[in-house]
Chains A and B, each alone.
Chain A
Amino acid sequence: MPITVRIPTPLRTLTGGADEVAIDGSTVSEVIENLEKKHPGIKERLCDEKGNVRRFVNVYANEEDIRFLDNLATKVKEGDSVSIVPAIAGG
């Protein structure tokens, strides 16, 4: 079972409306790269030009904020989940 990536509402236009996508990878970085291959354009929404996660985007590996783990080098394995939570400003 690959890794389940949970896609937030603002990014579902890039995944054909899917709220969950199955992606392979052994680190969060690999997962994002493979996510980009499957759904071009999504990496730019998640990462800046240096390849770091954008400051207003939170990424969780198995509900743990990767900033408190190994950031993009955080290891993941089959059956794990990666969730993306961007900041939203409307009110």
Chain B
Amino acid sequence: MFANFMINAWEAATIVAVVAGIVGFFTVLRGSAFAAHALPNGAFAGAAGASLIGVSALVGLGVFSLAGALTIAGLGRRARNDVATALTIVLMLGLGDLFLSRTTEYAPEIYSLLFGEVLGVSGNEIGPTVAIGAVCALAVFVLYRPLLLSSIAPEVAEARGIRARRMDLFFLLVIALTTTMAVPVVGALLIFSLLIGPPAAARAFTSKPLTAMALSVAIALITVWAAIAISFLSNLPVGFFVGTFGALDYVGGRGWTAWRQKRRSGTTEAPGATEARSAIAVG
């Protein structure tokens, strides 16, 4: 399991889980689950297009996921976010269909871009993954305070000059970068599951933002390590285990919340109340 050819898989999955834990905290907090699905899923069109004109898949994924983020933000000026996101993913998938019709040798590639072939990660893919992942994490930490404030209390944020639209666009671009980093090595499904399952669970256990983020990284690591180990032992696809474990994370979080509410019935605060307070305090 820890043989040479597996080292790359462990490294790539670990980097992806750390970044997903950090970015995912805000994905769940801002209710951006749809964008977190749409960008990784639609970006495969970029990889298909890249193979068509002979550039690296990473470039195609990057261009398409960033263009997708800009399209969602652009359409979102005139329509509700969920409608804008739906139209964007449809457009991206439609272009992917067009690109795929021009090549004949792409079917197995689609499977691996969508569901992940983490065991096939090669050594020279680790460098870009680390670099882009670091940019994502850095971006989140640099804009941590305004992002947190605008996620929890948009009105307060606006009053302090933090434009909600700008934060929306900024965060969409972060998701796009996360997509570019993760899809080539672990696939669209895996990054989507890691962006929502572990952070949703983490938020059930603590309402302090930084603690929740750290916990979210820890749960994401456990989820992806367990998935790879069991996938290796059972010879079944890793995407299946990540998808299942991501859902179990969420169920665990919901169960914990329900159990705690039962114990001290009635006196619980509205979810997010402490977050709001600490956000306003730090903001």
A binds B: no
